[in-house]
Structure 1
Amino acid sequence: MIVQHLGLVPYRTALALQEARRKAVADGAEETVLLCEHPPVITLGRQAQPASLRMPAAALAARGVEVVPVSRGGDVTCHFPGQLVAYVFVRLGKRPGGLHGLVHTLEETVIRLLQTRGVAAGRADGRPGVWVEDRKIASIGLALRQWTTWHGLALNVGPDLSLFDCIIPCGLAGVTMTSLARERNAAGQTGASPGVADLLDDYARILRHALAPAPLAQGDPAR
């Protein structure tokens, strides 16, 4: 499993990198996770509704925020500096549990990472992603082509979540978004809150362990 840190990458550049990496992994290259941050951007998943944008795309563009339709599942979300994005490229056909199992595994990687920084997070029934009580701290949206995944997850790390004010996150009206910094502050934790760069090594270790290929159960057909 390759885990590569890309730094701050324009979203469309990352989209082209994703497509190239997905094709390579589908053709037998080593499975990969790309970790990065993005300049401010809003992405529209396959289930996105026009009402999920709180302002017109032209008004967002005037603020330097691009709106990009994408092929992942889910509704609308946003990316920005201070958010850790992980793009995941694995061959799903050799993994027990299918796509839902992978989503569960990715949620667990975020939960474990947050535990290392003193934040207790978990899941919400019927709502993908990672939550701290009723506040959403990480979103997940995957796509599948040639039995190989792409797109991935986004974990809010820094305190500035103002871009979420421009959308209805994940199409969930009334949802409260949170971040590692906000939760540490609310809990009265002392010291500077970790930034994205401070999390990379620990998250890479967690990902390599969680996504290590497991043998298929007997009788489970390979695809």
Structure 2
Amino acid sequence: MPATYNQCLLYNQLVMPYLDAWMWQKELQTQRVKNPDLNDVLILLEHPPVYTLGKGASSEFIKFDLNESSHEVHRIERGGEITYHCPGQLVGYPILNLARHNQDLHWYLRQLEEVLIRVLAVYKLQGKRIPSLTGVWLEDRKVAAIGIKVSRWITMHGFSLNVCPDMKGFERIVPCGISDKSVASLAEWIPGITCGEVKHHIARCFGEVFDLELIEQSLSGIHQS
């Protein structure tokens, strides 16, 4: 087994248009389907305001006319319902070869939750899981969403953590199709928190949970916004 199997390439991007990140993920996944020996990857970034719908998402959770949206709307191949991304929300896209980790999608979802629960613990916040639902909650309010797509055990899409976003965009949808629980951001518990500081904690906790050494990569020439 090549020594690089315990290494993960880390791309810390600032803000990237959703379509650029989507294309980038698909390229990385396709490359690893063809050549499973390539390194795992973790992309951390923020998006301009955008709504995304999972492949089976229902229109009943959308409170606006899709043809007259002031923000981009994209139906994508991940699981789950509609969600919202915007600056101040950290998005993580792991491109992992689960054949090196555990070929079990439920295990993978729980591991992503564990990364985020550990990040919250850094701030002495107790993130929780809710049985039968995917994501992480603080005081019964959802602060992190997860939606994935896996092809031949290579992952794409991933998780989002509300750090300090403008939450108004969530008012126009039923986030993740969960009508009886509201969404929240970490800034409500930790005023002044920034995505910049949280990124470092996500990278460290991700490495711990997946037993990977993260190697930060240069962004020069790579899908810069």
Do structure 1's residue 55 and structure 2's residue 61 form an aligned pair? no
State the shift of 1:97 in Å: 5.7
Q: Which amino acid aligns with 2:20?
A: T
Q: Which amino acid aligns with 2:53?
A: L
Q: Which amino acid aligns with 2:14?
A: G
Is the alpha carbon distance of 1:34 and 1:51 closer, same or farther for their aligned partners in structure 2, counting shifts above 3 Å?
A: same
Q: Distance in 2 between matches of 1:88 and 1:113?
A: 16
Q: Distance in 1 between matches of 2:103 and 2:192?
A: 35
> Which 4+ residue blocks in structure 1 deviate beyond 4 angstroms?
none
Residue-by-residue CA offset, 1:178-208 (whole Å, 9 max, x unaligned): 1110133xxxxxxx52211111122111111
Q: Which amino acid aligns with 1:175?
A: K
Q: Which amino acid aligns with 2:140?
A: D
Do structure 1's residue 10 and structure 2's residue 20 form an aligned pair? no
TM-score normalized by structure 1?
0.87
- In the other structure, the counterpart of 1:20 is 27
Count of matched residue positions in the alignment of Structure 1 and Structure 2: 203
Contact 2:50 2:85 in 1 (8 A): yes
Is the alpha carbon distance of 1:183 and 1:97 closer, same or farther for their aligned partners in structure 2, counting shifts above 3 Å?
A: farther
**Which piece of structure 1 moves more, 195-204 or 66-75?**
195-204
Of residues 177, 180, 184, the one that matches 2:183 is 177
- In the other structure, the counterpart of 1:209 is 208
Superposed, 1:70-219 pairs within 5 Å as 70-96=76-102, 98-184=104-190, 192-212=191-211
Contact 1:72 1:142 in 2 (8 A): yes
State the shift of 1:79 in Å: 0.2
Residue-by-residue CA offset, 1:25-84 (whole Å, 9 max, x unaligned): 332210011000000000000231011110011332xx2x11100000111101000000
Contact 2:90 2:195 in 1 (8 A): yes
Unaligned ranges ≥5, structure 2: 1-7, 213-225
Q: Distance in 2 between matches of 1:130 and 1:32?
A: 22
Contact 1:57 1:66 in 2 (8 A): no
SS of equivalent residue, structure 2 residue 206: helix
Contact 1:54 1:167 in 2 (8 A): yes
Contact 1:123 1:130 in 2 (8 A): yes
Percent identity over paired residues:
33
Q: Distance in 2 between matches of 1:47 and 1:74?
A: 7
State the shift of 1:173 in Å: 1.4
SS of equivalent residue, structure 1 residue 4: strand
SS of equivalent residue, structure 1 residue 124: coil
Q: Which amino acid aligns with 2:12?
A: H
TM-score normalized by structure 2?
0.86
